[in-house]
Amino acid sequence: MDSMNRLLFFILTSIVIAGCSKPVGNDNLLWLPAEECEVEAQVIIDDTSDLQNDGFIIKGAPGDRVIIAKTGIGAMYGKYALQRMERTGKADCELDIREEPSYERRILNHWDNLDNTIERGYAGWSIWHWGEPVPVELIKQYARLNASIGINGSVLNNVNATPEMLSREKLERVAEIADIMRPYGVHVYLSVNFSSPAALGGLKDSDPLNPEVKKWWEEKVAEIYELIPDFGGFLVKANSEGLPGPQDYGRTHADGANMLAEALEPYDGIVMWRAFVYAPDSPDRANQAYEEFMPLDGKFHDNVIIQIKNGPVDFQPREPFSPLFGGMSKTAMMVEFQITMEYLGGSNHLVYLSTLFEECLDSDTYCAGEGSTVAAVTTGKIYPEPYKTSAIAGVANIGRDANWCGHEFAQSSWYCFGRLGWDVSLSSEEIAREWLAQTFTSEEKFVEPVLDMMMTSREAVVDYMMPLGLHHIFAGIHHYGPEPWYAPEGARSDWLPKYYHQAGPDGIGFDRTRKGSGNVDQYHEPLASMYNSTDTCPEELLLWFHHIPWTHEMSSGRTFWDEMCHRYDRGIQKAREYIKVWDAARPYVDAERWEAVRAKLEIQESDARWWRDACVQYFGEFSGLPVPADVEQPERPLEELKKIKLNMLHHN
């Protein structure tokens, strides 16, 4: 079997057949809180406390310690926090801690389908076991893991929702799942299909201003709350990628969201209305969400929250933050991250996503002057009036694979999402140290090199996939490997394969300056002017905002072409370094997990070379320049790489 066939075999077995591996629940494969949160502390529940959102206080020295909370769920969070500190060596001293979550609702979005497949999932089949007996112990363990890191909500089904999800049969099943998770403070939410009144209820249409449609939703919501009194609300993807929505009837996003919000309001339910609106004929996809939603600012009910992907396009390895976070000031907004690695090598690549999440949350929008970070905006600190509730969402990477996430280190991104949702001020390094100590060992000789591997992993992937602001040059169907030559079937006549990268003899990059699509002016100053100039635009985002000549001089002193080739090479070298780091870690890790991670790292290094081979040769056809002699040369011809097909994954 040649190297490319071996690569494809690994991909197929790890992504497609993952669901056939042994059951979830191997306790030594991830951080795992004790079943009863056993800690040495007195627990006091004081319903007169001023603690907010299930916060807690921990006071005292070992042997004389007290946990104070306003609610039982808050006390549970306090016990998990103390347990975590005990396991990471931070509890051997006098404590005086008060913690309240940064976001009131900290929610996993599961893209699970009713046939038990998971859209963009890389760890097997759905843990909800639709159509099978409810897996009580599995769901309980899932809820316990979430509670231990502060996650308090789960959207059970795909944003590409089917009307059937709201049938009585499925709602009764959802109620069973809610009953299992309730003791752990995890509330259920559902994605809904906007055409459900017509498709499921038999109405003539699903027009949000049709009184019969409003009544149908009111009755359906009442039915849900009869079964699930603490139901969280709806997540809606509408008028995007062909899904139905209010625009089908000449209505606005606000019309559709508010109709659902009115039905949910008596029960304290919310509507999370996605701002991912993507039409394939958009002149600049990065502009579309801002253009559609900004005119509606202030027109949404206060139990509507706009769910916005971290970047303006689509969960790319690196994007600037979405300008909507700095734009809307009269509407509640929540950030949506992707924990499952649709664009980051699936479950085959080691990528610790906390650094990506932190980069977005710490980005300054300047919407109310310096310090108006994405985190400050979405927690309601900048514009508190619209925020009846605050929320953060992460697209889950969880399935039935033996280690839950398809890769031992992919668990760290589930973990860090929960920890950042609870405390947005935590650093990625601090969270990684916690996870390593609880999942593997706190031995310094293991932690320090593996920590460095985690902290540099996202940047390494950016280097070997799409450095310097390149984006969306993945294979169009499965988003796994490189395909910068891809053109969607049936696309408009002027859509060239180079839509996103705009490569030509004159250079490369998408011109989003004031002379191009004007995207820079969706940002506040000083960002707009900074992004608009090649002199001040960060090099990491250069091709996102600019069309750059191949001979443009970079800060390194190299031409752009040479710099790009060096970035691809740097990513490959990092992938190789990770194999050496993991080899040295062997004495500290059990054989099963060490071997599993080692096999994945080999795939990652092979994939890094695949990306390099495809991209430098393809872009070299436009630049007309040779790969620099001081970097590793491509191994496989471009024509061979263009024949690779992996059309086995769902589209989203």
Say which of 342, 401, 563, 605 is annotated catalytic: 342
Residue type present at position 223: E
Q: Token pair for residue 606?
A: 């092979």
Core vs surface per residue 188-224: b (16+ CB within 10 A) or e: bbbbbbbbbbbbbbebeebbbebeebbebbbebbeeb
d(Cα 416, Cα 258) in Å, to the nearest integer?
33
Question: Which H helix or E strand runs over 529?
Answer: helix 527-532
DSSP 62-76: TTEEEEEESSHHHHH
* Angle, CA 397 vertex, CA 396 and CA 401 arms, to 5°: 135
Say which of 176, 241, 268, 592 is annotated catalytic: 241
Q: Looking up tokens 């593997």, which residue turns up?
A: 440
Question: Which H helix or E strand runs over 453?
Answer: helix 444-465
**Distances from the Cα of 432 to the Cα of 151, 389, 429, angstroms:** 17, 29, 5
Round the CA-based radius of gyration of the chain to a whole number and report it: 24
Say which of 314, 434, 463, 521 is annotated catalytic: 314
d(Cα 238, Cα 275) in Å, to the nearest integer?
9
DSSP code of 522? Answer: G
* 630: exposed, middle or buried (Cβ count in 10 Å: 0-12, 13-18, 19+): exposed
CA atoms 399, 404, 409, 414: torsion sign: positive
Q: Token pair for residue 75?
A: 């006390």
* Annotation says 172 is catalytic: no
Collapsed DSSP state (helix, strand, coil) of residue 281: coil
**Distances from the Cα of 234 to the Cα of 208, 264, 555, angstroms:** 15, 9, 48
* Annotation says 342 is catalytic: yes
Q: Are 118 and 162 in contact (CB under 8 A)?
A: no
d(Cα 360, Cα 312) in Å, to the nearest integer?
12
95 has which bridge partners?
60
Collapsed DSSP state (helix, strand, coil) of residue 364: strand
| Cα 542 to the center of its chain, rounded Å | 23
* Annotation says 205 is catalytic: no
Q: What's the distance, Cα to Cα, between the start and end of the chain in Å?
A: 32
Nearest CA-CA partner of 127 in 509, 423, 400: 400
CA atoms 506, 512, 514, 515: torsion sign: positive
d(Cα 82, Cα 345) in Å, to the nearest integer?
35
Omega prior to 246 cis, within 30 of 0: no
Positions marked catalytic? 241, 314, 342
